[in-house]
Amino acid sequence: MAFLKHKTVYLFAIAVLCVTMAGCMSMMRTGISIAHPALENIEASLFKQHNLDLAEKGLPGTIMLLEGMLETAPNDMLLQVMAVKAYAGLGMLVEDESPEEATALYTRGTEWGIAALKQHGGFRKALEQGKNMNEAVREIKSKKFVPALLWTAASMGSNVLLNVGDPMIAIDLGAVNAMAGQAITIDPRYFYGFAHMFIGTANSMLPAAFGGDKGKALGAFETISALNNGKFLLSKVFYARFYLTDDKLINQTLNGVVEAPDGLIPEIELMNQIAKAKAGYYLNQ
């Protein structure tokens, strides 16, 4: 009888501990949700940053913070998309000097992006049924998923462009095109029309036999330029690298980016500074 009594007490203690832990986890997730506005403010501040060195040093800490929060709230889509942005941003900052590190960053970012997209039941079910990414993204129609579509395309697309010689990675270009295209279908102006840049790049690179279309590529680059009065400098860098073929026009376009004034779009100054740095890098190659 004493044994049964002790066993009952033991089991009760375990049950109480489990309930307490579950309650603590629930409280922690609630706390993370409450912190969303502060995290969004931090992200907005980072996008306004003009100092690339400071951004490169600060992003690893941001990534560790997000990864830690995602341990507690692995299905928090806002955190997942923020993680994609952080990984892709750091990848773009280091890729010219450390391509292997950038590849790892883009890969991890893409994993979080796909995790966010899998919260869409239709997309997840399509993948489970064996459909490829190009087909699965067509299931997504909600604006809620546009950030995940765009930033997953950005992370995956950056990885493809960095590793064009690796067929196992380059094959993802079609998925990048599909995700960016679906984002545009839902909201063509989201984040300054950034998705149009990937449509332009993918259609510039893909052979016609695999869906590439130079006319569509030019139209996409012209669209993002028109949406931002030519102030989204990263799109000009991609236009010069992947669409233009005349060396004189390429150099002219890249020089125009380098010489562009600061503060053209204050809300994404970081991206324009990255564009300037990359334009200068490519001119010196």
Q: Is residue 22 part of a domain?
A: no
Q: In this structure, what CATH number is given to the domain that contains residue 105?
A: 1.25.40.920
* Residue 117, in any domain of the structure: yes
Q: What is the pLDDT of residues 45-100, one digit of tens each?
A: 999 999 999 999 999 999 999 999 999 999 999 999 999 999 999 999 999 999 99
Structure confidence by residue, pLDDT tens digits, 113-156: 999 999 999 999 999 999 999 999 999 999 999 999 999 999 99
Which domain, by its residues, includes 66?
A: 36-185
Residue 148 forms part of a structural domain? yes
Confidence at 219, pLDDT banded by 50, 70, 90? very high
pLDDT at 23: 57
Averaged pLDDT score across all residues of the chain: 90
Residues 204 and 213: their CA atoms lie apart, in Å, by 7
| DSSP letters for 26-48 | HHHHHHHHHTHHHHHHHHHHHHT
Q: If pLDDT is split at 50, 70 and 90, which confidence band does 16 have?
A: very low
Of 30 and 55, the structure prediction assigns the larger pLDDT to 55
Of 144, 215, 225, 135, nearest in space to 181 by CA: 135
Q: Which helix (H) or strand (E) holds 260?
A: none
pLDDT at position 167 is 82
Whether residue 127 lies inside any domain: the answer is: yes
pLDDT band (50, 70, 90) for residue 18: very low
Q: Is residue 139 part of a domain?
A: yes
Q: How many domains does the chain have?
A: 1
